[in-house]
């Protein structure tokens, strides 16, 4: 349970952590039982010294632990390789709450929930008269009527009663001549008086109850105690009347000295005069000191009395004797000064003889203190000496055991990989064939060549631009092991080059026994569609992977291949996972990497590995296929391999730039337009002459604004355009897409004699959904586009499938189709009837910022390569037209190519694959990349992997957790979440959430219905969590599907603005993820509890708590503190602002937590930067998940605070902090055993059971 605020800290934003007392005791029992069973002894530090042990001992003393507890703690921890923290942990786990110092346990806070009434002056009832027979009775009376006062006043009265009792005891002991009892009583009196004086200075102390310490006592000079007498080391005399003991001492030889000094040796004040002057200055209300000479035989000593105050009189009398009375007075004055100004260097102002005796007294006192200290510390030092001896003996035993272990080391056990089921890579498990084994495949191919389907499609293939290069491609591949094929989009290279290669390998002798071709694609849809097309071209009737099919495909979750498959299209990720199993691709003869120009992380990574494999395998061939002219870079990377260039089949495209568009459409840029660029005005200094009436001339200096923009700033190229166009070019903001101009251009296409008779669709490239929405709204509300002449379609991944399908449908004659799309239409999809392209020249790229360690979508200008790709989309069916919303001059300034993805994104998954494939350190490996990333980015990725426990701290070696994470095709944090979901018995819902994170949210926002969609999502919202809201929507969908069939399912999706296809994909991905996790041995019967009839139930508080904890285990350290803002207007909804480790961010408007206002912590899936920093997919979490699965825990003992990673703070006693630290150790031990032996059952594991109960208890208590 947790709440906000508390006596230790009034800051409500620092949540308070409390564990149920009975559960706490059970947890401690499990922790101690685990320690006992494992008995893990750490390595004892060789640097332990007596000084360090003493420091540790005194540090524990400073916390007010008892001596026996300190010794037990040090013995039980240091011998196990522990330190101060270990000792504190031991004390917290082994001492009862009442034996722990204040602030170490939660007992005190649990027992003190009551509030106290405000202080009022004590009022004695009129009917009750205080007894007058004794001060003690009066104090007790005050106590009886003061029970409701503040604690300070109660404590004062309690001490007053004890003080009177102590004084009575002292008097009794004095009469009984019990010196030891009198000494103890005097010590109590001083202790009580000091504490009472402190309370009297408290701001809420009631002066009405103040008691004079001398009340009812006769004022008299204080009597020196035995302790004070001992302190003077027989140099001081305190009493006039000599006791019998002192009389005995008189028989001993007297200490007689001569303190005479000459006027030459000392010209300053005498000690007596110095004392008199000091008293006058520092005690102005006191009389001068009195000096009483005491004769001792023929010698002298002097009793000096200094009245410091009415209740405080100093009386001293040295035991040293002098030969005359004046020296005795000076010596007495010296002793009085010594007592009055102890610690000050006043002795330097005294004559030399008295200065020496002053130093003698000081040295004697220090020596006595040292002796007392040694006597006091003797038990401690004896304990430390024995402990240090034990530590050294045990250290020697450890060293000897370690040496013996190295000598007698056994063979290592089987690797964990031997216990894991093989992943299903059957499509890539292409067995090596002997030469004669290829005959059945060759016969099959000859048979297919004779089919009518093959011959019909062969004629179509022969029309492709690449077909005429068939012989040169095949011959070049025979002579060179690596070839770059550079062909424009539409040339047919993606289908034909693999086809050419397959034909030649089967029909002609290559001198190789292998014919296994793998062609990688960056997208799943490409792999499927290309494999389907090649299957048709080969004459296969059953499609990819069918019976007697030579071509197949494999993508994540789906494989279509057969025994006869010899050409496999697959995604790059599938081949990378194959490389984890077979680092040399032993059974593959040819690898074709398509679309290498896209420079994705996976393709760049694959190129590094393939380059190294080529050095080890002389029979492997590599073909790189690119759609751009940046082929020289790839050729250089592979030692200047040959480049084959293939022109595309496209019609001419006429290009119009911004200046041409403005000139032709007659567009006028108004000065107050939002697209008009506001130049900063410069000031010019001028001199003005002013003539006065008298004829005099005065000069004034003035500054006038001067516009910086003028036609002179334009390139001379624009002089041929009208002044209207020049003005627009000069003042139009190039970083803002001019939607008004796009509308004018669309109207111009239908009114211009040049274009109005030209049929064909218009494809408008925009950077993102926001611009698509904005332009769609403008077109929908503009009367000029109301007619049936126009059909406007928005194309974006977030929109429903129906909207996107309409983009590929040919409209009726006379209807102009206008498609609004992002860069997905550059190469990913082809809209068949596009004739006009309007290119805004803007796109959004995912960029990684090293300073903030986050990725952000940044709107930027496209590269020249992308601009040419967009232009080419207009010339697929006939002569086309491309209208660029940027100037020719700006186009020339574009980058040739986009920045490779490997330089823009985090590299955790890449580093995992490198270590999984045993490719060495990620830093060294990635330095071999086509464009090596910065070392700091690689370092950040490795730090994250270490933080989540995926790799060892000091070397690039995967832990068992890291080995499994590398096998899961998801982000490392999501992968960890899946494994924890399996361990805690909630794999099914966690796999659902992971599927959403790896794919996309099923919620859709149709154009023009944003408010309705938001309302529907809010109705499904659950537990202040986007993740659980999606899971809730998923459960509802499954219920509708099971109970009402297809119609009910479709109605549910339509009612709740859900994408049915996304939900179906989500279900497939979820099942695949569960399959992958279970293949590694992580299966539990408890996971089945979430299935079955779960769709008809809502999640319980305990289930919600468990799911949030697993989310935190995976997504930490993506966490931030909500900055609570209280609104004056209760109806006003304020944006939820969150403080993260890198700075403030705002919850994304699409989140159910967008206006959440509470004290707490928010988990987020992703941090992105648009106009501001946003957090996407958030979940409100409680302290327990952070403390169990977060970063390093630090305990601030005196402040009663726990901090995680130095900035996430919670209020809690030290004992709770220790419990969570120990639970972390227990979790790690369970995970390590489970990860090393995945088949081990965790169903009845006590540690996981108690942790699960702890997590569920927190949420169950109403938080």
Q: Is the pLDDT of residue 102 over 70?
A: yes
Q: Tell me if 919 is assigned to some domain.
A: yes
Please tell me the predicted confidence (pLDDT) of residue 702.
Answer: 55
Domain boundary among 837, 871, 898: 898
Instruction: Report pLDDT digits (tens) over 1103-1151.
Output: 999 999 999 999 988 999 999 988 777 677 889 999 998 899 999 999 9
Q: Is the pLDDT of residue 243 over 80?
A: no
Q: Tell me if 479 is assigned to some domain.
A: yes
Among the residue ranges 549-553, 728-732, 792-796, 1237-1241, the one predicted with the least confidence is: 1237-1241
* The two structure tokens encoding residue 870: 């967009």
User: Which of 243-247, 252-256, 422-426, 501-505 ranks highest by mean pLDDT?
Assistant: 501-505
Q: Is the pLDDT of residue 10 over 80?
A: no
Instruction: Kindly report whether the global pTM for this prediction surpasses the value 0.85.
Output: no
Please tell me the predicted confidence (pLDDT) of residue 849.
Answer: 52
Instruction: Report pLDDT digits (tens) over 905-956.
Output: 878 888 998 998 888 899 999 999 999 999 988 998 999 898 888 888 888 9
| Between 652 and 1243, residue with greater pLDDT | 652
* The two structure tokens encoding residue 723: 């002044």
Q: Is the pLDDT of residue 1261 over 60?
A: no
Burial class (CB in 10 A: 0-12, 13-18, 19+), 721: middle
- Angstrom distance (rounded) from CA 320 to CA 425: 102
Does residue 590 share a domain with residue 537? yes
Q: Is the pLDDT of residue 1096 over 80?
A: no
Q: Is the pLDDT of residue 1216 over 70?
A: yes
Please tell me the predicted confidence (pLDDT) of residue 160.
Answer: 80
- Is there a cis peptide before residue 1117, judged by omega within 30 degrees of 0? yes
Q: Are 272 and 322 in contact (CB under 8 A)?
A: no
Q: Is the pLDDT of residue 796 over 80?
A: no
Kindly indicate the confidence band of residue 398, based on its pLDDT and cuts at 50, 70 and 90. Answer: low
Q: Is the pLDDT of residue 1197 over 90?
A: no
Does residue 939 share a domain with residue 905? yes
Q: Is the pLDDT of residue 427 over 60?
A: no
271-282 helix and 325-340 helix, angle to the nearest 10 degrees: 40
Q: Is the pLDDT of residue 728 over 60?
A: yes
Q: Tell me if 1255 is assigned to some domain.
A: no
User: Which of 348-357, 395-404, 777-786, 1252-1261 ranks highest by mean pLDDT?
Assistant: 348-357
Domain boundary among 967, 986, 1003: 967
| CATH, residue 736 | 3.40.50.300
Please tell me the predicted confidence (pLDDT) of residue 356.
Answer: 93
Please tell me the predicted confidence (pLDDT) of residue 575.
Answer: 94
Does residue 587 share a domain with residue 552? yes
Q: Tell me if 848 is assigned to some domain.
A: yes
- Angstrom distance (rounded) from CA 1156 to CA 1137: 9
How high is the mean pLDDT of the chain?
81
- Angstrom distance (rounded) from CA 350 to CA 395: 58
- Angstrom distance (rounded) from CA 661 to CA 574: 46
- Angstrom distance (rounded) from CA 108 to CA 102: 7
| Between 169 and 858, residue with greater pLDDT | 169
Please tell me the predicted confidence (pLDDT) of residue 122.
Answer: 43
In Å, what is the CA distance from 884 to each residue of 738, 744, 841, 887, 890? Answer: 12, 14, 7, 7, 10
Average pLDDT of the residues in 362-368: 92
Where is 317: in which H helix or E strand? Answer: strand 312-318
Does residue 541 share a domain with residue 433? yes
Does residue 890 share a domain with residue 973? no
- Angstrom distance (rounded) from CA 73 to CA 90: 6
DSSP secondary structure string, 614-670? HHH-TT-EEEEEESSSTHHHHHHHTTS--EEEE------EEEE-HHHHHHHHT----
Average pLDDT of the residues in 1231-1248: 79
Does residue 1042 share a domain with residue 979? yes
Average pLDDT of the residues in 61-69: 86
Domain extent at residue 920: 900-967
* The two structure tokens encoding residue 1144: 């403030």
Does residue 457 share a domain with residue 551? yes
Instruction: State the number of CA atoms in the 13 A half-sphere of 1142 facing the CB.
Output: 18
Q: Is the pLDDT of residue 399 over 60?
A: yes
Average pLDDT of the residues in 1003-1010: 82
Where is 784: in which H helix or E strand? Answer: none
Among the residue ranges 481-495, 569-583, 710-724, 1005-1019, the one predicted with the least confidence is: 710-724
Q: Tell me if 711 is assigned to some domain.
A: no
Instruction: Report pLDDT digits (tens) over 1139-1150.
Output: 998 899 999 999
Among the residue ranges 182-196, 210-224, 901-915, the one predicted with the least confidence is: 210-224
Instruction: Report pLDDT digits (tens) over 799-830.
Output: 554 555 677 788 998 899 999 988 877 765 66
Does residue 1000 share a domain with residue 917? no
Does residue 628 share a domain with residue 534? yes
Domain boundary among 1072, 1100, 1128: 1100
Does residue 932 share a domain with residue 842? no
Please tell me the predicted confidence (pLDDT) of residue 691.
Answer: 63
Q: Tell me if 520 is assigned to some domain.
A: yes
| CATH, residue 272 | 3.30.160.20
Please tell me the predicted confidence (pLDDT) of residue 671.
Answer: 84
Q: Is the pLDDT of residue 486 over 50?
A: yes
Average pLDDT of the residues in 307-320: 92
Please tell me the predicted confidence (pLDDT) of residue 897.
Answer: 82
From the list 996, 1065, 1072, 981, the residue with the least C-alpha distance to 1028 is 996
Average pLDDT of the residues in 184-201: 82
Q: Are 819 and 793 in contact (CB under 8 A)?
A: yes
Q: Is the pLDDT of residue 1086 over 70?
A: no
Please tell me the predicted confidence (pLDDT) of residue 896.
Answer: 85
Does residue 890 share a domain with residue 1011? no
Among the residue ranges 6-20, 503-517, 765-779, 926-940, the one predicted with the least confidence is: 6-20
Please tell me the predicted confidence (pLDDT) of residue 181.
Answer: 82
Please tell me the predicted confidence (pLDDT) of residue 1077.
Answer: 86
Q: Tell me if 1009 is assigned to some domain.
A: yes
Query: Interior CA angle at 571 toward 570 and 574, to 5°?
Result: 85
Categorise residue 763: left if φ over 0, alpha if ψ from -120 to 50, beta otherwise.
Answer: beta
Q: Tell me if 1193 is assigned to some domain.
A: no
Contacts of 295 (CB under 8 A, 6+ apart): none
Average pLDDT of the residues in 724-734: 92
Please tell me the predicted confidence (pLDDT) of residue 233.
Answer: 40
Please tell me the predicted confidence (pLDDT) of residue 445.
Answer: 92
Does residue 912 share a domain with residue 850? no
Please tell me the predicted confidence (pLDDT) of residue 111.
Answer: 44
Please tell me the predicted confidence (pLDDT) of residue 152.
Answer: 65
Domain count of the fold of the chain: 6
Kindly indicate the confidence band of residue 245, based on its pLDDT and cuts at 50, 70 and 90. Answer: very low
| Between 1066 and 322, residue with greater pLDDT | 322
Please tell me the predicted confidence (pLDDT) of residue 752.
Answer: 92
């Amino acid at each position: 349970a947790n709440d906000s605020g508390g006596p230790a800290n009034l800051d409500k934003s620092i949540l308070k952590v409390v564990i149920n007392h009975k559960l706490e005791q059970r947890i401690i029992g499990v922790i101690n039982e685990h320690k006992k069973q494992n008995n893990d002894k750490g390595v004892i530090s060789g640097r332990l010294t007596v000084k360090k042990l003493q420091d540790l001992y005194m540090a524990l003393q400073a916390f007010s632990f008892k001596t026996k507890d300190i010794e037990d703690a040090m013995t039980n921890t240091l011998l196990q390789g522990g330190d101060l923290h270990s000792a504190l942990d031991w004390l917290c786990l082994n001492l009862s709450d009442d034996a722990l110092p204040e602030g170490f346990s939660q007992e005190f806070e649990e027992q003190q929930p009551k509030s106290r009434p405000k202080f009022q002056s004590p009022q004695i009832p009129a009917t009750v008269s205080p007894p007058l027979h004794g001060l003690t009775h009066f104090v007790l009376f005050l106590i009886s009527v003061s029970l409701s006062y503040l604690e300070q006043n109660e404590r004062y009265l309690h001490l007053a009663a004890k003080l009177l009792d102590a004084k009575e005891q002292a008097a009794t002991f004095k009469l009984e001549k019990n010196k030891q009892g009198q000494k103890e009583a005097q010590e109590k009196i001083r202790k009580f008086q000091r504490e009472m004086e402190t309370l009297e200075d408290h701001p809420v102390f009631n002066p009405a109850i103040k008691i004079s310490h001398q009340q009812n006592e006769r004022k008299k000079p204080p009597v020196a105690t035995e302790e004070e007498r001992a302190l003077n080391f027989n140099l001081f005399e305190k009493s006039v009347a000599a006791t019998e003991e002192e009389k005995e001492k008189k028989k001993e030889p007297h200490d007689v000295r001569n303190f005479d000094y000459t006027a030459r040796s000392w010209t300053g004040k005498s000690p007596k005069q110095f004392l008199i002057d000091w008293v006058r200055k520092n005690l102005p209300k006191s009389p001068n000191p009195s000096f009483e000479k005491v004769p001792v035989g023929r010698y002298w000593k002097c009793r000096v009395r200094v009245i410091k105050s009415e209740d405080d009189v100093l009386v001293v009398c040295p035991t040293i004797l002098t030969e005359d009375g004046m020296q005795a007075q000076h010596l007495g004055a010296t002793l009085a000064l010594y007592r009055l100004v102890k610690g000050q260097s006043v002795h330097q102002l005294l004559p030399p003889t008295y200065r020496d005796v002053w130093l003698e007294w000081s040295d004697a006192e220090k020596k006595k203190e040292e002796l007392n200290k040694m006597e006091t510390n003797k038990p401690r030092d004896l304990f430390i000496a024995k402990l240090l001896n034990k530590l050294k003996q045990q250290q020697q035993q450890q060293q000897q055991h370690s040496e013996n272990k190295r000598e007698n080391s056994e063979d290592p056990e089987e690797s964990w990989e031997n216990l894991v089921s093989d992943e299903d890579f059957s499509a890539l498990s292409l067995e090596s064939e002997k030469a004669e084994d290829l005959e059945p495949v060759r016969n099959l191919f000859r048979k297919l060549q004779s089919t009518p389907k093959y011959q019909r499609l062969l004629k179509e293939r022969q029309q492709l631009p690449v077909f005429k290069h068939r012989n040169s491609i095949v011959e070049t591949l025979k002579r060179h092991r690596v070839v770059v094929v550079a062909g424009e989009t539409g040339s047919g290279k993606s289908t034909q080059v693999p086809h050419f290669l397959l034909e030649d390998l089967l029909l002609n002798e290559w001198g190789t026994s292998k014919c296994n071709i793998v062609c990688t694609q960056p997208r799943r849809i490409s792999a499927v569609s290309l494999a389907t097309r090649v299957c048709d071209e080969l004459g296969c009737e059953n499609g990819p992977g069918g019976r007697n099919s030579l071509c197949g495909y494999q993508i994540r979750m789906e494989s279509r291949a057969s025994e006869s498959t010899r050409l496999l299209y697959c995604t790059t990720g599938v081949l990378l996972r194959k490389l984890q199993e077979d680092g040399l691709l032993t059974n593959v003869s040819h690898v074709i990497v398509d679309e290498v120009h896209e420079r994705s992380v996976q393709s760049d990574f694959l190129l590094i590995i393939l380059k190294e494999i080529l050095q080890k395998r002389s029979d492997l061939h590599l073909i790189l296929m690119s759609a751009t002219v940046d082929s020289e870079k790839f050729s250089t990377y592979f030692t200047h391999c040959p480049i084959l260039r293939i022109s595309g089949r496209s019609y001419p495209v006429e290009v119009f730039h911004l200046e041409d568009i403005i000139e032709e459409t007659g567009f006028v840029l108004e000065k107050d337009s939002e697209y008009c660029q506001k130049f900063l005005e410069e000031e010019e200094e001028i001199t003005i002459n002013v003539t006065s009436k008298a004829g005099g001339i005065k000069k004034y200096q003035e500054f006038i604004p001067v516009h910086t923009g003028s036609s002179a700033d334009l390139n001379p190229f624009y002089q041929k355009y009208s002044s209207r166009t020049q003005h627009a070019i000069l003042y139009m903001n190039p970083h803002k897409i001019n939607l008004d101009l796009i509308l004018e251009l669309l109207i111009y296409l239908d009114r211009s004699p040049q274009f109005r008779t030209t049929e064909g669709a218009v494809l408008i490239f925009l950077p993102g959904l926001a611009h698509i929405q904005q332009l769609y709204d403008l077109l929908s509300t503009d009367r000029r586009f109301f007619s049936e002449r126009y059909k406007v379609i928005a194309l974006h991944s977030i929109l429903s499938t129906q909207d996107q399908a309409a983009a590929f449908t040919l409209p009726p004659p006379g209807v102009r189709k206008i498609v609004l799309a992002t860069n997905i239409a550059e190469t990913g999809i082809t809209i068949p009837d596009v004739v006009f392209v309007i290119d805004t020249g803007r796109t959004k790229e995912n960029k990684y910022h090293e300073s903030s360690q986050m990725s952000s979508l940044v709107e930027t200008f496209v590269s020249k390569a992308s601009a040419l790709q967009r232009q080419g989309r207009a010339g697929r069916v006939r002569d086309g037209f491309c209208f660029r919303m940027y100037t020719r001059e700006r186009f020339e300034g574009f980058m040739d190519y986009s920045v490779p993805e490997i330089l823009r994104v985090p590299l955790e998954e890449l580093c995992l694959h490198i270590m999984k494939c045993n490719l060495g350190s990620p830093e060294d490996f990635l330095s071999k990349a086509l464009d090596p990333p910065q070392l700091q980015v690689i370092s950040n990725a490795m730090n994250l992997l270490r933080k989540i426990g995926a790799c060892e701290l000091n070397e690039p070696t995967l832990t068992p957790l890291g080995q499994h994470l590398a096998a899961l095709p998801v982000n490392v944090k999501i992968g960890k979440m899946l494994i924890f979901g399996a361990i805690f018995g909630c794999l099914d819902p966690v796999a659902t959430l992971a599927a959403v994170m790896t794919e996309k949210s099923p919620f859709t926002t149709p154009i023009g219905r944003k408010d309705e969609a938001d309302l529907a999502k809010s109705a499904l919202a659950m537990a202040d969590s986007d993740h659980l809201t999606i899971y809730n929507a998923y459960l509802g969908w499954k219920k509708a599907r099971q109970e009402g069939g297809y119609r009910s399912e479709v109605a549910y999706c339509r009612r709740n603005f859900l994408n049915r296809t996304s939900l179906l994909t989500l279900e497939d991905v979820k099942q695949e993820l569960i399959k992958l996790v279970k293949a590694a041995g992580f299966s539990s019967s408890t996971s089945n509890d979430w299935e079955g009839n779960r769709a008809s139930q809502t999640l319980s508080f305990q289930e919600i708590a468990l799911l949030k904890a697993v989310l935190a285990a995976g997504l930490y350290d993506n966490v931030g503190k909500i900055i609570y803002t209280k609104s004056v207007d209760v109806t006003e909804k304020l944006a939820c602002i969150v403080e993260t480790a890198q700075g403030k961010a705002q919850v994304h408007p699409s989140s159910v937590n967008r206006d959440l206002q509470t004290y707490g912590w928010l988990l987020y899936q992703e941090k992105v930067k648009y106009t501001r920093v946003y957090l996407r997919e958030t979940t409100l979490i409680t302290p327990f998940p952070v403390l169990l699965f977060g970063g390093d825990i630090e305990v601030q003992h005196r402040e009663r605070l726990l901090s995680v990673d130095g900035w996430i703070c919670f209020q809690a006693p030290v004992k709770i902090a220790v419990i969570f630290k120990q639970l972390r150790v227990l979790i790690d031990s369970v995970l390590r055993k489970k990860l090393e032996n995945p088949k081990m059952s965790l169903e009845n594991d006590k540690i996981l059971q108690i942790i699960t109960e702890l997590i569920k208890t927190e949420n169950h208590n109403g938080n």
